Structure 1
Amino acid sequence: MTRDLFARHRAVLPDWLALYYEDPLEITHGEGRHVWDAAGNKYLDFFGGILTTMTAHALPEVTKAVAEQAGRIVHSSTLYLNRPMVELAERVAQLSGIPDARVFFTTSGTEANDTALLLATAYRRSNAILAMRNSYHGRSFSAVGITGNRGWSPTSLSPLQTLYVHGGVRTRGPYAHLDDRDFTDACVADLEDLLGHTRAPAALIAEPVQGVGGFTSPPDGLYAAFREVLHERGILCISDEVQTGWGRTGDHFWGWQAHGRNGPPDIVTFAKGIGNGMSIGGVVARAEIMNCLDANSISTFGGTQVTMAAGLANLNHLLEHDLQGNARRVGGLLIERLRAVAAQVPHVREVRGRGLMIGVELARPGTDEADPEAASTVLEEARAGGLLVGKGGGHSTSVLRVAPPLSLTVAEAEEGAAILERALRSI
């Protein structure tokens, strides 16, 4: 049955639409932190639909909210007042920390980042954008134009002039040998030098933890230091929280808060986890930035009633059950467990991350050379053992991405770590 579906997939869908596994997997249903495939096999899910199933599969509060709202009205567009959209916008604005915040909802993180770029370039009247090397911001034409990861950037054509800044990857590149303070100072000096050779950019866009890039991050405080340089020149700061938002990093509700000594960024984008699988993205910005557009605009599907009802129920559950605190506690245990395993597996170059956003980078033993074949082997072996994880990385897909729902239990963390240990030892 699955092979027939695979053949049909290949016959009608693009070749570049990637599938995991030599024998692709059809997931038919899920519950809690587990999913099942079409053959009835059960898996512990440590990837959550690319960090999207944030709280749990089939969370009763979310499924109930969706069903009840669908029984009333599914959609009306932004041309009409929409109570669930206003209510969720009020919550997001308050949680963002941005003063006099306005919220615009989209259907994805890609569209959210598109909107942020539109706002920043219109507000600043500049099409120059600073982005981080090894970054990923989406699949659209403009988002691809600011993506600093070659594996996810299929064209060099872009409506934007993009300049790439160093600092998103701590353990590779020309400053990797420096301590955290000197690393930060070197990256700031690089930014200042870059600004001396270009017309004033509209904004810097950065992921606090680079997702597709392999869960890499700079030392805490780097982006705060960047912002001091940028704000002196009136350049905006955009924090791409599509993967880091809502408490996934454990220590903070937003990823930018690890760099927050001078307050929130000018613009925050979000998506993925807030909908727990429903299509929600969005942008938060100060009113003067959000309201700078001088033409009409709507969103046909952004903020639709069903997705907003899901987002409200999901956010309420997240906050009421302190899933950020759970991510910090259980994620800390999981990271230490995986580091203990890594010390005994020569192919593991580094285990990094925070909260329930963990990267296991594989390299050929004794070198820094990425080993995507080893990552593929571990991905397959983990599946065979009943565990689903993801892949990523800027130096080919050699990083295992571990990002379970934030309700992960200690017992499930131990179970997943044991399966992943066996898979790593099989290389």
Structure 2
Amino acid sequence: MTDELLGRHRAVLPDWLALYYEEPLEITHGEGRHVWDADGNRYLDFFGGILTTMTAHALPEIAKAVSEQAGRIIHSSTLYLNRPMVELAERVAQLSGIPDARVFFTTSGTEANDTALLLATTYRRSNTILAMRNSYHGRSFSSVGITGNSGWSPTSLSPLQTLYVHGGVRTRGPYAALSDGEFIAACVEDLEDLLGHTRPPAALIAEPIQGVGGFTSPPDGLYAAFREVLNERGILWIADEVQTGWGRTGEHFWGWQAHGRNGPPDIMTFAKGIGNGMSIGGVVARSEIMNCLDSNSISTFGGTQITMSAGLANLNYLVEHDLQGNSRRVGGLLIERLRSAAAQVPAVREVRGRGLMIGIEVTKPGTDEADPKAAAAVLEAAREGGLLLGKGGGHNTSCLRVAPPLSLNVAEAEEGAEILENALRSIR
């Protein structure tokens, strides 16, 4: 059955639409932190549909909200008042920390970042964007143009002039040997030097923790230090929270809060986990930035009643059950368990991350050279053991990504760590 579906997939879908595993699997249903494939195999899900199933599979509270809303009305567009959209926008605006915030809903993180770029370039009357090396911001024409990861940027054409800044990767590059304080100082100096050679940019866009780039991050405080330089020149800061938002990092509700000495970002984008699988993305910005557009606009599918109802139910569950705190506690145990296991595997260069956002970088033993074949082998071995992982990284996708639903319990974390340890030990 799977072979037949794979043949149909290849006959009608693009060759560049990636599939995991040598023998791709069809996931048919899920419950809690587990999913099942078409052959009846059960897996512990440590990737959550690319960090999207943030709370749990088949969560009754969300299923009920979606079902009840579907029985009333599913969609009407933004041309009409929409109570669930207003209610979710009120919650997001309050949680964002951005003063006098306005919220615009989209269908994805890509579209959210597109909107943020439109707002920033219009507000600042500049098409120059600062972005981080090793970054990823989506698959659209404009977001591909600012992506600093060649594996996810199929064209050099862009409506924007993009300038790439140091700092997104702590343990690689020319500043890797420096202390955290020296690292931040060197990156700030690099930013100031760059700004001395270009027309004033519209904004810096940055992921607090780089997602597709392999869960890499700078020392806490880097973006706060950048902000001082940006503020002097009126340059906006866009925080891409598509993967880091909603408490995934455990220590904070938003990733930017690790760099929040100078206040919240001017613009923040979000998506993935807020819908727990439903298509929700969005942008939050100060009112003068959000309202700077001087033409009409709508969103046909952004903010539909059914997705907003799902988002409200998911956010309520997340807050009421303190899943941020659970991410901090269980994620802390998991990362230490994985570091202990990886210490016995020469091919593991680094285990990094925070909360339930953990990266395991695989290299050729004793070197910094990426080993994507070994990483792929671990992915396969973990699947054989009943565990689904992700992969990424700026060096030939040699980083395993661990990002289970935030309701993961200690027993499940230990089960997953044991399977992953065995998979890592299988590297030859």
Q: Please classify the TM superposition score into its range, dividing by the shorter chain length.
A: over 0.9
Measured in 1, the distance between the counterparts of 2:163 and 2:346 equals 36
Measured after TM superposition, the shift of residue 185 of structure 1 is 0.1
Which residue matches 1:352?
Answer: 352
SS at match of 1:261: helix
TM-score, L = length of structure 2: 1.00
Residue in 2 aligned with 1:59? Answer: 59
Q: Deviations over 1:250-283 (max 9, x none)?
A: 0000000000011100000000000000000000
What is the aligned partner in structure 2 of residue 278 from structure 1?
278
Match of 1:71 in 2: 71
Q: What residue in structure 2 maps to residue 261 of structure 1? A: 261
Q: Secondary structure at the match of 2:112?
A: helix
Structural mapping, 1:263-412, within 5 Å: 263-412=263-412
Amino acid at match of 1:58: A
Distance apart, 1:389 and its partner CA: 0.2
**Residue identity matched to 2:391:** K
Deviation at 1:159, TM superposition (A): 0.1
Q: Secondary structure at the match of 1:72?
A: coil
Q: Quick check: 1:168 aligned with 2:168?
A: yes
Show the counterpart of 1:95: 95
Specify the code of the residue in structure 2 equivalent to 1:39. D
Distance in 2 between residues matched to 1:318 and 1:84, nearest whole Å = 17
Structure 2 counterpart of 1:293, one-letter code: L
Q: Which amino acid aligns with 1:400?
A: L
* C-alpha distance in structure 1 between counterparts of 2:381 and 2:144, whole Å: 32
SS at match of 1:212: coil
Q: Read off the aligned partner of 1:51 and give its amino acid letter.
A: L
Q: How far, CA to CA, are the matches of 2:134 and 2:259 in structure 1? A: 19
- What are the within-5 Å matches in structure 2 for residues 62-211 of structure 1? 62-211=62-211
Report the Cα offset of residue 397 of structure 1: 0.6
- For 2:294 and 2:310, locate their aligned partners in 1 and report how far apart those are by CA, in whole Å: 32
- CA shift, 1:133, in A, is 0.2
The CA RMSD measured in Å over matched residues stands at: 0.2
Q: Which amino acid aligns with 2:411?
A: A
Q: Distance in 1 between matches of 2:380 and 2:342?
A: 18
- Distance (Å, rounded) in 2 between the aligned partners of 1:157 and 1:262: 34
1:70-94: CA deviation from partner (whole Å, max 9, x where unpaired): 0000000000000000000000000
Give me the TM-score of the superposition, normalised by structure 1.
1.00
Q: How far apart are the structure 2 equivalents of 1:344 and 1:114?
A: 43
Return the offset for 1:186.
0.1
Q: Which residue of 2 aligns with 1:246?
A: 246
Q: Distance in 2 between matches of 1:197 and 1:221?
A: 25
1:306 Cα shift? 0.2
Shift of 1:339: 0.2
Fraction of identical pairs, as percent: 87
Provide the C-alpha distance between the structure 2 equivalents of 1:235 and 1:261, rounded to a whole number of angstroms: 17
Give the Cα separation in 2 of the matches to 1:279 and 1:56.
Answer: 16
Q: 1:364, CA displacement in angstroms?
A: 0.3
Q: State the Cα deviation string for residues 168-190 of structure 1 (Å, max 9, x = none).
A: 00000000000000000000000
Residue 219 of structure 1 deviates from its aligned partner by 0.1
State the one-letter code of the partner of 1:396.
N
Aligned residue-pair number: 427
Amino acid at match of 1:260: G
Structure 2 Cα separation of the partners of residues 343 and 148 of structure 1: 30
Q: What is the aligned partner in structure 2 of residue 4 from structure 1?
A: 4
Aligned amino acid, residue 125 of structure 1: R
* Secondary structure of residue in 2 paired with 1:349: strand
Q: Once the 2 structures are TM-superposed, how far is the Cα of residue 164 of structure 1 from its aligned partner? A: 0.2
| Structure 2 residue identity aligned to 1:31 | E
> What letter corresponds to residue 91 of structure 1 in structure 2?
R
Distance 1:232 1:277 in 2: 40
Q: How far 1:411 moved relative to its partner?
A: 0.2
Aligned to 1:260, the other structure's residue is in SS state helix
Paired residue type of 2:96:
S
Deviation at 1:139, TM superposition (A): 0.3
* Residue aligning to 2:34: 34
Q: CA deviation at 1:64?
A: 0.4
Question: CA shift at 1:125, angstroms?
Answer: 0.2
Q: Return the offset for 1:42.
A: 0.1
Moved over 2 A (4+): none
Distance 2:119 2:59 in 1: 35
1:21 Cα offset (Å): 0.2
Provide the rounded CA distance (Å) in 1 between the counterparts of 2:57 and 2:290: 34
Name the SS for the 2:262 alignment partner: coil
- Distance apart, 1:146 and its partner CA: 0.3
What CA distance in whole angstroms lies between the structure 2 residues aligned with 1:109 and 1:343? 35
